[in-house]
A and B are shown apart, each in its own frame.
Chain A
Amino acid sequence: DGGITQSPKYLFRKEGQNVTLSCEQNLNHDAMYWYRQDPGQGLRLIYYSQIVNDFQKGDIAEGYSVSREKKESFPLTVTSAQKNPTAFYLCASSTPPSYGYTFGSGTRLTVV
Chain B
Amino acid sequence: SQQGEEDPQALSIQEGENATMNCSYKTSINNLQWYRQNSGRGLVHLILIRSNEREKHSGRLRVTLDTSKKSSSLLITASRAADTASYFCATDSDRGSTLGRLYFGRGTQLTVWP
Contact = CB atoms under 8 A, between A and B. Distances in A.
A5 to B, nearest CB: 11
A58 B33 CA distance: 19
* Majority secondary structure, A binding face: strand
B48 A100 contact: yes
* Majority secondary structure, B binding face: loop
Contacts of A42: 3, 88, 104-107
Taking residues whose C-beta sits less than 8 angstroms from the other chain, chain B's interface range is: 20 to 34
A98 B42 contact: no
Contacts of B99: 97-98
Taking residues whose C-beta sits less than 8 angstroms from the other chain, chain A's interface range is: 20 to 34
7 contacts: A42-B3, A97-B100, A98-B102, A100-B33, A101-B33, A101-B90, A105-B41
Given A90-B43, A97-B99, A106-B41, 11 more contacts: A33-B101, A41-B106, A43-B43, A58-B101, A99-B48, A100-B33, A100-B45, A101-B43, A102-B45, A103-B35, A106-B42
